[in-house]
Amino acid sequence: ETGVTQTPRHLVMGMTNKKSLKCEQHLGHNAMYWYKQSAKKPLELMFVYSLEERVENNSVPSRFSPECPNSSHLFLHLHTLQPEDSALYLCASSPGLPNYEQYFGPGTRLTVT
Amino acid sequence: SQQGEEDPQALSIQEGENATMNCSYKTSINNLQWYRQNSGRGLVHLILIRSNEREKHSGRLRVTLDTSKKSSSLLITASRAADTASYFCATDGRTSGSRLTFGEGTQLTVNP
């Protein structure tokens, strides 16, 4: 589990706040991912980065803004979120694309009030 | 329905028993993966089976893949209380690019 770290682990924010989620991988991987996990729903892929370039944006609202400054770090900037955005946000990395196993961080539990 | 559907949704067994979970999918795949998630935590990769493989083992885990039936099964032998978790299959479709599609998972409870 320590190969991919996420901070913060828990976040409560109001609908008008701006916050950022951080993910760091220590595995030397080239691809990184953001997923959203809501109760009673399958894991939803949000964004995919390969070598710091975004290769997939899965129709995610613009209130979620990813940033990948290098292959080890991935951010998810949040602004003017809605209560339905409350979920567990998971970061993952893989050696490359496609067809590789993914290594997940522990997640950030986000609550939007 | 979703690519990668697990069955059953919930399974409760006694320690020492075997647990079998199934996954069905709809489109052709490059590979299928199984993951485990303890409550509120990240997913842990268990095993990857490629479309040209039929069976794979890892410790107490056995995965089978039947591409003609578009299904896979995960068998955990001699289960332990620590195996209590949600188990997900994920498919890497041939037309899905970089996307892994996850099912809704099977919640396994192993009673001591």
Check residues A1 and B25 and name the one with the higher pLDDT: B25
Residues B90 and B33 sit within 8 Å (Cβ to Cβ):
yes
What number is the average pLDDT over the span A72-94? 96
End-to-end CA distance of chain B: 35
Task: Identify the pLDDT of residue A30.
Answer: 94
pLDDT beyond 50 at B1: no
Which DSSP category does B52 fall into?
Answer: T
Q: Which two tokens stand for residue A34?
A: 């953001």
pLDDT tens figures, B17-62? 999 999 999 888 889 999 999 988 889 999 999 999 999 999 999 9
In angstroms, the CA A94 to CA A35 distance is 14
Decide if B97 and A92 are in contact by the 8 Å CB cutoff.
no
Decide if A106 and B41 are in contact by the 8 Å CB cutoff.
yes
Residues B99 and B30 sit within 8 Å (Cβ to Cβ):
no
Decide if A103 and B45 are in contact by the 8 Å CB cutoff.
yes
Give the model's confidence band at A10: pLDDT under 50 very low, under 70 low, under 90 confident, else very high: very high
In angstroms, the CA A60 to CA B50 distance is 30
Indicate the average pLDDT of chain B.
90
Q: Which residues of A touch B44 (CB under 8 A)?
A: 1, 104
Chain B residue whose CA is closest to A98? B98
Q: Which residues of B touch A107 (CB under 8 A)?
A: 40-42
Mutate which of A46, A101, A103, A104 to disrupt the B interface (most B C-beta within 10 Å)?
A101
